[in-house]
């Protein structure tokens, strides 16, 4: 068992700045105490229609300052994906700790019906996670495993 001082912190401070077009929106919130993601909202002045097969870059009106060695992961909302076929294209989208611009979400409508994005609508979720800094070690060979180099379904056969 690890010593408690070796554990990652369960709380982290993320500085936030609401841009003019997002000042009327709440800061990202979790739907429940056990939720990993914080809901991001659409900072659009008027409704935006997303036709089947279309995609749009949707502003959130929010810029953040993550601590060093943390990232923000922008992920789809499961309800939008299931009910409407709306997802985040580059999922998870990565927000690096040194990025200070507006968080914008690439939404895509993979469904069969048009989807309306309304002002203030919850469009995605943001998960803040630690990032491992890697020290690469070049080797002539890698250790053997039962799986070896098999991939793309090789363990299900």
Q: What is the pLDDT of residue 2?
A: 52
pLDDT at 157 over 70: no
Question: How far is 95 from 68, CA to CA, in rounded Å?
Answer: 12
Whole-prediction pTM: 0.86
Residue that is written with structure tokens 């990202």 in the block:
28
**Per-residue confidence band for 9, with pLDDT thresholds at 50, 70 and 90:** low
Give Cα separations from 147 to 68, 139, 141, 151, 152 (angstroms): 35, 19, 16, 8, 12
The contacts of residue 70 (CB under 8 Å, 6+ apart) are 12, 97, 128, 129, 130, 131
* Percent over 70 (pLDDT), the chain: 93
pLDDT in tens, 78-127: 999 999 999 999 999 999 999 999 999 999 999 999 999 999 999 999 99
pLDDT at 8 over 80: no
* Percent over 90 (pLDDT), the chain: 85
Topology of domain 13-132, CATH: Deoxyuridine 5'-Triphosphate Nucleotidohydrolase; Chain A (2.70.40)
Strand partners, 130: 70
Question: How far is 99 from 75, CA to CA, in rounded Å?
Answer: 18
pLDDT at 1 over 80: no
């Amino acid at each position: 068992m690890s010593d408690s001082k070796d554990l990652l912190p369960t709380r982290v401070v993320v500085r936030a700045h609401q841009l003019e077009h997002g000042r009327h929106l709440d800061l990202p919130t979790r739907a429940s105490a056990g939720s990993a993601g914080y809901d991001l909202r659409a900072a659009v002045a008027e409704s935006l229609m997303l036709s089947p097969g279309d995609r749009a870059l949707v502003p959130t009106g929010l810029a953040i300052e993550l601590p060093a060695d943390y990232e923000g992961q922008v992920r789809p909302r499961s309800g939008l994906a299931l009910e409407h076929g709306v997802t985040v294209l580059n999922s998870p989208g990565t927000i690096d700790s040194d990025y200070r611009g507006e968080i914008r979400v690439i939404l895509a409508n993979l469904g069969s019906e048009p989807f309306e994005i309304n002002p203030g609508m919850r469009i995605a979720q943001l998960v803040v996670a630690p990032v491992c800094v890697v020290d690469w070690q070049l080797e002539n060979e890698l250790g053997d495993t039962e799986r070896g180099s098999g991939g793309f379904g090789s363990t299900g056969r």
